[in-house]
Structure formats: structure tokens, C-alpha cells
Amino acid sequence: MDHFLYQNGVLHAEEVAIPEIAASVGTPFYVYSTATLTRHYQLFDDALDGMDHLVCYAMKANSNQAVLRLMASLGAGVDVVSGGEYRRARAAGFSGDRIVFSGVGKTVEEMELALTGGIRQFNIESEPEMVALSEVASRLGVSVPITVRVKPDVDAKTHEKIATGKSENKFGIPIAKARDVYRQAATLPGLEVIGIDVHIGSQLTELEPFETAYLKVAELTEELRSDGHDIRRLDLGGGLGIPYERSNEAPPLPTDYGEVVRRTVGHLGCEIEIEPGRLIAGNAGLLVASTIYVKEGEGRDFLILDAAMNDLIRPAMYSAFHDIFPVIEPDAGAEYAPIDIVGPVCETGDTFTRQRPMPPVEAGDLIAFRSAGAYGAVMSSEYNSRPLIPEVLVHGDQFDVIRARPTYEDMINRDSIPAWLEGLD
């Protein structure tokens, strides 16, 4: 469920008409619903009710400060994967003891940043990283809680570019090596082994891969405890998918996921961490664009928008599907015809969809993309010297710009001319 519905024939974000926002900030823009973000976080928190747990929002999905501040106010933890994300989390109000640091390439500088600023745990991804963290912690005279990320060689049945739990993926260590790695960790100064981390991929639409992975984690927990390790926290990752195509069967709900967690690891007495991102933010956001032209081609027509692949790269990168529809509700008897929906960037890949049935659309009409709240704005760029687009947050009948569109001067003036080029024709 989201809070983007037609009211009297006009698409609204909660109680704000989308054309009102467009008139204020121009197009294209992202708009997020506070009510939807709140509801989706609460679904996960409720799903683990009765278990010692922390829902750590995976901020790589949407790292806007306003979204982060909302998550912090709801009691969430946060999962970060870079020093920049760590700084964003602290700026948004997350205390260090609610920040989990993941990622395969943590630098010494990032380790120092988190160890001096406060951290809940590091999720270790390799033996060299573990040794480096030990050296940094020892130099700073601190002890840092760690988990080790294991890959259980489970097929998440998702897109190959967002699968993370198979043996060939770059993440974590093979689960078969785990006991040796934990044995090494116990000998390293400055490290406190507290748990296990696992994350098998993103946009999972079935529960079976989770169940398979978590059963392996449960078995490993017992083995590590028998080896003398105090395993008391399980970071189970994120990955539960969202319904990008509304005509398809919806993925499992957080409540169903919660039952898998209880069934597989609930008997171990561990604190449970989960790291949802997409399901919290994805359907809480729209991308809104204006139609520039409707172009007749040979054998196909094109709907050319002012949004492009630099604003929403998922279709170009993953062939990802987004529901696309007019902001003004089509007439009940409107005839739909297939059309290619594209942007103005000079790439054939700047195509959102091909031969998508659409009602009649004219130049100037507003078009909305559903499920754009996750991996939209955070992956955008200024390709073709197109400024980053605004982000807007709606709360009831109010809205505010939470990231303004930079001016062309702002964008150009970030560059500098070397002295030896000054004055050259």
C-alpha cells in the first residue's frame, strides 16, 4: 500500500495534488510520502514483535537527510556502507550505537571515523579487513563489536546484479570457512566477536531462499557456540522485494518474513537485526516528469519526457520495470496504445520502457513513475550536464523541498580552470 491515489481525477501524494508540486518546483522531481515511509518501517518492526530486534534502515536505498531523520525518529537503526553514509547517518540524528557498518571495501580512514564517532558493530567481509580493523582498534585503544558476513551459497532468485549470497559473489566469506575465520578473529586484539551476518540479495520475491539461508545460519550459530564463541546477535540482512508490477502477484509481506525468522532462528535467543531499504522506501516515492513531445516513428511512437536515465537509471541498468501512468486520471473509456517512453539523453539506452500500453498523452502532460523511492535519487547523476532533480517530502496536506534543484551556475562552478589555461583562446 502507498499513499499516492487519484482524488477527483488528479493524482495526489497523501493530501497534496501532484500538479501543485510541479507548479512549485518544476519537473522532473521525486516526491516521497511520510505516511508510506512510516507505515513500511512499522510493518517490519511489528513483524518481529516479541523478539529482541532492531530494524536497521539500509540507507543506500534513499539517503536524503529528511528520510533519515524520519527513520531515526521512529526508533530505527541504520545500515551504512561508506564513510559518507556514516556521516549522513550521524548528521540525521542516529547515535553511534544504532549504526551498523557494512560493505566489502572499508578503508582504514572509514574505520577510524566510525571507531571515534561511535558504532554498533562492523560487519566484516574478509580476513584482510578483519586484520586491518584489529590494527586500527588496537592503535585507538578500543574494542569493537564485529560480526562476520557469511555467504551461504543460496540462489536468491533475483537479478544477477543484485544477488549477493552465492559463492561467486564478492560479498562475505564462504560459510564453509566460517569456523576458521571466527577462530582467527578470536585471536586478534581489539575485536569482540558478537554474531553472524548474512545477506543474500535484493528484490527477493520468494521466502524460500531466506529460509534456506537462515537455517544454515542457525546451524553455524550452534557450531560457533560449541567452539566457544559468544554468538548473541544475528544480522539477517534485507532484500524483501516490492511489487513493481501491480498486475503481478505481490511479494511476501513483512509479517510472512517475520514468521520465517521466528521459525528458523527464533529458538537461538539471539538479538535479531534486519536491514530493509527497498521495501521501506521504494513504494514511498514517485518520479514525476513532463511530456516534451509525442513523436510518431516508423512502426512505433515515442513519448519523450523531461526525465532521463540520469534521473532514474534502473531501467537502463537492470531493465527494471516501473509502473508509468498519467497524473490526470484517464477517462474510463480511454483507448490504450503501445508506445516507447524515453528521455532526452543522447543514448539509445535512455529508454524507460518499450511498447508500453498508455492512454492518449499530449505535450505538457504530467507522467508519474511508481516505486521510485528507492535507488532513484541516490543513483542519479548529472550526465549530459543535466542538474540533479529536486526531492520533495509530503506530510498530510503539506510538502517541502528536501533537496533543491541546483542551478546551472552551481553545476558549472564546481569545475575549475587551471592557471595555465587562463587567457588561452
Task: Give the residue with greater pLDDT, 329 vs 242.
Answer: 329
pLDDT tens digits along 161-177: 444 444 556 668 999 99
Q: Are strands 16-17 and 10-13 parallel, antiparallel or unpaired?
A: antiparallel
For residue 149, list its beta bridge partners.
197
Q: What is the mean pLDDT of residues 227-246?
A: 90
Indicate the residue type of 212: T
Q: Does domain 63-276 have CATH number 3.20.20.10?
A: yes
Mean pLDDT of the chain: 94
pLDDT tens digits along 98-111: 999 999 999 999 99
What three-state secondary structure class fits 188? coil
| The pLDDT value given to residue 155 | 66
Q: Which of 50, 247, 297, 346 is catalytic?
A: 346
For residue 148, list its beta bridge partners.
124, 196
Q: What is the mean pLDDT of residues 128-154?
A: 96
CA–CA distance, 256 with 208 (Å, rounded to integer): 11
Q: Which backbone phi and psi does 197 adopt, to 5 degrees?
A: -120, 140
Task: Give the residue with greater pLDDT, 249 vs 419.
Answer: 419
CA–CA distance, 22 with 368 (Å, rounded to integer): 11
Any idea which of 39-48, 241-250, 379-388 has the lowest mean pLDDT?
Answer: 241-250
Q: Please say if the pLDDT value at position 246 is more than 90.
A: no
What three-state secondary structure class fits 392? strand
| The pLDDT value given to residue 163 | 46
CA–CA distance, 171 with 153 (Å, rounded to integer): 11
Q: Are strands 285-296 and 29-33 parallel, antiparallel or unpaired?
A: antiparallel
The CATH architecture one would assign to domain 4-31+282-412 is Beta Barrel (2.40)
| The pLDDT value given to residue 241 | 87
| The pLDDT value given to residue 164 | 44
DSSP 8-state assignment for residue 184: H
Q: What is the mean pLDDT of residues 325-354?
A: 96
Which of 350, 337, 360 lies closest to 381 in space, CA to CA? 350
Q: Please say if the pLDDT value at position 133 is more than 70.
A: yes
User: H/E/C letters for each residue in 9-55?
Assistant: CEEEECCEEHHHHHHHHCCCEEEEEHHHHHHHHHHHHHHCCCCCEEE
Helices 208-226 and 178-187 pack at an angle, to 10 degrees, of 50
Q: For the chain, what are the domain ranges?
A: 4-31+282-412, 63-276
346 is catalytic: yes
Q: What is the mean pLDDT of residues 173-198?
A: 96
Indicate the residue type of 169: N
For residue 392, list its beta bridge partners.
31, 401
276 preceded by a cis bond (ω within 30 of 0): no
| The pLDDT value given to residue 159 | 44
**What is the chain's percent helix, strand, coil content, to nearest 5?**
35, 25, 40
pLDDT tens digits along 255-311: 999 999 999 999 999 999 999 999 999 999 999 999 999 999 888 999 999 999 999
Pair 147, 124: CB distance under 8 Å: yes
* 293, three cell numbers: 513531445
pLDDT tens digits along 40-52: 999 999 999 999 9
Task: Give the residue with greater pLDDT, 419 vs 262.
Answer: 262
| The pLDDT value given to residue 285 | 98
Q: Are strands 271-274 and 351-358 parallel, antiparallel or unpaired?
A: unpaired
- Per-residue b or e along 125-139, where b marks 16 or more CB atoms closer than 10 Å to that residue's CB: bbbebbebbbebbee
Indicate the burial class of 415 (C-beta count within 10 angstroms; 0-12, 13-18, 19 or more).
Answer: exposed
CA–CA distance, 117 with 248 (Å, rounded to integer): 45
Q: What is the mean pLDDT of residues 208-213?
A: 92
How many CA atoms does the CB half-sphere of 274 hold within 13 Å?
31
